[in-house]
Amino acid sequence: MAVLGVLSAVVFYAPGGVAFRHFFFDPHQMWISLVGSHQGLASVGKGIVTNIWMFCLCEVLVLVLGLLLAWVRISTAPVLAPLRALAMIYTDIFRGIPILLVFIIVGFGLAELNIGWISHQTPAFYGCVAITLTYTAYVAEVYRAGLHSVPHGQILAARSLGLSHAATMRQVILPQAVRTVIPPLLNDFISMQKDTALVSILGIVEAVQSAQIDAAQNFNDSGLVVAALLFLVMTVPLTRLTDRLIDNDRKRRLAGTS
Amino acid sequence: MSVLGFHNVSKRFGTNDVLRGVSLDLQRHDVVCVIGASGSGKSTLLRCANLLERVDGGDVTLFGQSLLDPRIDENLVRRQVAMVFQAFNLFPHLSVLQNVMLGPVHGLKRPVDEVREEAMALLERIGLVTRAGDYPDRLSGGQQQRVAIVRALAMQPALLLLDEVTSALDPTLVGEVLELLRELALEGTTMLLATHEMGFAREVATTVAYLDQGVVIEAGSPEQLLDAPQHERTQAFLSRVRS
């Protein structure tokens, strides 16, 4: 609260405060960039819909693929050794490359390759592929940590009850692992929601791109602030939810030890 | 009829010889207590009986059939040989009732309704039927271990393995767990225990075996082994335990 107060005081009393408010917080400009206008202004409100469906789709894909990748990485069967090596290389690569480069390489590279239907998709498709590739690597590591956090005695107990490997995973390991990984998983999703803004580099007119079009036509950046506010509306509830889950988990642990 | 047989079993972890030629036989209704210091190989021996560990040499037989046979299905073996652990290893995300039902439902694939009835009867028997819906962390250590024991019993096993099941318990809670085991012994449950409870071993065991550095030094009836041990290492161990 105090920080907000100081910030607004700066905005109001700085020598360039008036110009700043005009460029970034002009209510009229903010409104028309939110809804769009007949003079060809892009709508940030419409743009954000693109961001939303992209991360909704990617979250589902990442949840499934990340789990598969983690499963491969924690496997111990000797026959899976080559697959484990591949999974490790994959994780290294996609956690190591800035996501912006992944967008460019996937978005322009795949189209350039000219191989059948893969090279004839929309930019949004490539955007989703790039996000999914990158975040699968992150989320797999989160899952892996969660799966490893389940005590070995749990596995011994489940196996002793005649449960198969698969049933042990499903009934005993996963339910416990998921509980521990939900907060870090949500954390990655918050970050993913914001990274959907980067698909603008592929020419997709999502929220940030729309705001930039407005800014270029109007010499006014208020649309960018609108985009920022819309992202906050999406990420803040998720952040609060994460906080609450972490808090509940901590309380549960404390209660368990007493 | 021989339920379980260890025949000259050896087991190594790296360069550490944990078991070095152990032979032991359990007939139906036998209660065999394996005693010995920590690290003597008791737990490993038990784990070889339900294939949580694979032996490196010798043979383990269940009803005369070798467990080393590559065609053997380890899940089928474990459905006949249930195990109870020192640290209970109850599933914290499942209620007491669900803990007891998990094996029969997902291991034996038996119908849920039937299993629930049996599980409730087992909980009734240990006086915890009112706690069926509680999670394990709400129970005392003694209650948790008794739940772990009936979780094993719910599998209707031919053999029960108990790995130092009272060692992690507060001394005041040991009694209720031993009482349950005593009842099971009287009912003729075939059991193999690794234990430090000498009094209990004397009372219910048909055979007591002293294990030291991976070798059965001496085995016999409780009277023989505990009151008149022949081997000096057994004598030394017992005097250490009693002092």
The CA-atom distances, in angstroms, between A126 and each of A89, A164, B161 are: 22, 39, 56
Tens-place pLDDT, residues B156-165: 999 999 999 9
Locate the domains of chain A by residue range: 43-257
pTM of the entire predicted model = 0.80
CB neighbours of residue B228 within 10 Å: 10
Tens-place pLDDT, residues B20-35: 999 999 999 999 999 9
Domain residues for the domain of B42 are: 2-242
Distance of alpha carbon A20 from alpha carbon A197, whole angstroms:
24
Name which of B234, B185, B243, B183 is nearest B213 in CA terms.
B234
Extract the tokens encoding A234: 């999406």
Q: What angle do CA B156, B162, B165 make, to 5 degrees?
A: 125
Tens-place pLDDT, residues B74-123: 999 999 999 999 999 999 999 999 999 999 999 999 999 999 999 999 99
DSSP H helix total and E strand total for chain B: 9, 10
Chain A CB contacts of B83 under 8 Å are: 156-157, 160
Average pLDDT of the residues of chain A: 85
Superfamily name with CATH number, domain A43-257:
MetI-like (1.10.3720.10)
Contact A209, A223 (CB under 8 A): no
DSSP H helix total and E strand total for chain A: 13, 0
Q: Nearest CB to A162: which of B93, B103, B137?
A: B103
Length in residues, chain A: 258
Residues in Cβ contact with B205 at an 8 Å cutoff, skipping those fewer than 6 apart = B31, B32, B33, B193, B221, B222
Tens-place pLDDT, residues A131-175: 999 999 999 999 999 999 999 999 999 999 999 989 999 999 999
Which region, left, alpha or beta, applies to residue B164 given φ > 0 means left and ψ of -120 to 50 means alpha? left
- Report yes or no: B92 at the A interface, CB cutoff 8 Å: yes
Q: Interface pTM (ipTM) of the complex?
A: 0.91
- Report yes or no: A178 at the B interface, CB cutoff 8 Å: no
Percent of chain B with pLDDT over 70: 100
Q: Nearest CB to B92: which of A160, A162, A176?
A: A176
Contact A158 B93 (CB under 8 A): no
Please tell me the total count of domains within chain B.
1
Name which of B151, B139, B150, B149 is nearest B107 in CA terms.
B151
Residue A10, SS3 per DSSP: helix
Chain A CB contacts of B151 under 8 Å are: 161
Q: What angle do CA A72, A76, A82 make, to 5 degrees?
A: 60
Q: Which residues pair with B216 in a beta bridge?
A: B211
H/E stretch holding B84: strand B81-84
Between B32 and A37, the higher pLDDT residue: B32
Q: What is the CATH number of the domain that holds B54?
A: 3.40.50.300
Distance of alpha carbon A83 from alpha carbon A71, whole angstroms:
11
Q: Residue A254's pLDDT band (boundaries 50, 70, 90)? A: low
